[in-house]
Amino acid sequence: MISKYKWWELVITYTGMALFLTFILAPFAEALMVSLRPIDSVFRVPYRFFTDNMTIQPYIDMWTSVPKLGRYILNSFFISCAVTALALACIIPAAYSFARFNYRFRDGFLVAFLAVNMVGAAVLIIPLYKLMFSLGILNTYWAMIIPGAAFSVPTGIFLMRSYFLRIPRELEDAAYVDGASRLYTLRRVILPVALPGIMVVTIATFIAAYAQQFLFALTFNSVTDYHPLPVGLYQFFGRERVLWNELMAASLVGILPVLMVYVFLQRYIVAGLTAGAVKE
């Protein structure tokens, strides 16, 4: 059998996996251990991975040390949902247009969208700041939602377009023969068929939006009530003595929703990533 491994190949493979996972998971493991300790044993030498006085107290105290923790987590969720909704409203029609129609400058437009992908938001932070200021949306949710959506549109278009390209044209032609309008055809014929693709784009956009809500919130928003979790917790850093156990507890609780989404929808996410974001 071709896939049969010799014993030493198995040893190498599993050793490699173990080393790889150690690197990947060590920060999470350590965060978990720290979050389960009273603060005095967090600040103790020599270093120990396990200590005997484990407690879940930090998970209770964090709600008082970070009074708005719940709010931050909700904000994170809300901002990501809004970003995803706004982005999808732009992505789906544009991707359909690129996939199905022939018109002047089509390829030029597509390249332009791809080029946008190269520019990181931090480079454009000055005019963006001025823009948010003149639109009067500094210190509102919009200042985090609108730029967040804009920067996720190009990747989404690219990914969604490749799904639309796979849908046979005959489907539309049949609808047109029956006298359906093009908008109706898009809504009632194409979108239902493209649903798995739309799912993938939705999940990928949501996860990206959840992962990248630091810069805009840090720069465009100073109202603590509107902060997403990363910026809300970042403000802890400036303090004299960082309560690492509670910070880690709050971090872990904050990433729990997205990790759960990941575990349940893992198959879609992997498919989406590999099919779209970068794949040619």
Partner 1 sequence: MNRRGDPFPYLLLLPAAFLTLAIVAWPLIETFRLSFTNASLRPVEKYVGFENFVEIFEDDFWEVIQRTFLWMFLGVTLKIVMGTIGAVLLNAAVPGRALFRVLVMPPWIVPIAIGVFMWSWLYNGQFGMISGVAQSIGLLDGPFEFLAYPNAAFMATIVTDVWIGTPLVALYLLASMQSIPTELYEAAWTDGASRAYRFRRITLPLIAPSIFTMALLSAIWTFNSFDIIWILTEGGPRGATTTMIIDTYKTAITRFRFGEGAARAVMILVCLTAFAGAYLALLSRTGRRGGAQ
Site residues for partner 1, 146-185, by CB under 8 A, read 146-147, 149-151, 153-154, 157, 162, 165, 172-173, 176, 182
Whole-number minimum distance, CB 262 to partner 1, in Å? Answer: 5
Question: Residue 43 interacts with partner 1 (CB under 8 A)?
Answer: yes
Helices 195-211 + 244-272 axis angle, to 10: 150
Site string for partner 1, 105-144 (x = CB under 8 A): -x--x-x-xxxx-xxxxxxxxxxxxxx-------------
DSSP per-residue letters across 146-190: HHHHHHHHHHHHHHHHHHHHHS-THHHHHHHHTT--HHHHIIIII
3-state secondary structure of 204: helix
Question: Residue 84 interacts with partner 1 (CB under 8 A)?
Answer: no
Whole-number minimum distance, CB 245 to partner 1, in Å? Answer: 10
Question: Residue 230 interacts with partner 1 (CB under 8 A)?
Answer: yes
Among 201, 219, 221, 243, binds partner 1 (CB under 8 A): 219
**In sequence order, what are the residues at sequence separation of 6 or more whose Cβ sits closer than 8 angstroms to the Cβ of residue 251?**
31, 35, 233
3-state secondary structure of 99: helix
Classify residue 41 by burial, with Cβ atoms within 10 Å: 0-12, 13-18, 19+: middle
Among 62, 82, 247, 249, binds partner 1 (CB under 8 A): 247
Question: Residue 249 interacts with partner 1 (CB under 8 A)?
Answer: no
Beta carbon nearer to partner 1, 56 or 131: 131
Among 40, 178, 240, 280, binds partner 1 (CB under 8 A): 280
CB 250 within 8 A of CB 227: no
Q: Read off the tokens for 111.
A: 């390249």
Whole-number minimum distance, CB 178 to partner 1, in Å? Answer: 14
The 10 Å CB-count burial string (b at 16+, else e) for 222-257 is eeeebbbbbbbbeeeeeeeeebbbbbbbbbbbbbee
DSSP state of 4: P
- Cα separation of 107 and 204, whole Å? 24
Among 38, 63, 68, 90, binds partner 1 (CB under 8 A): 90
Whole-number minimum distance, CB 94 to partner 1, in Å? Answer: 4
Question: Residue 8 interacts with partner 1 (CB under 8 A)?
Answer: no
Site for partner 1 in 254-273 (CB under 8 A): 254-255, 258-259, 262-263, 266, 269-270, 273
The dihedral region occupied by 52, where left means phi > 0, alpha psi between -120 and 50, and beta the remainder, is: alpha
Beta carbon nearer to partner 1, 24 or 192: 24
End-to-end CA distance of the chain: 32
Question: Residue 215 interacts with partner 1 (CB under 8 A)?
Answer: yes
Site string for partner 1, 54-83 (x = CB under 8 A): ----------------------x-------
Question: Residue 20 interacts with partner 1 (CB under 8 A)?
Answer: yes
Total residues contacting partner 1 (rule CB under 8 A)? 112
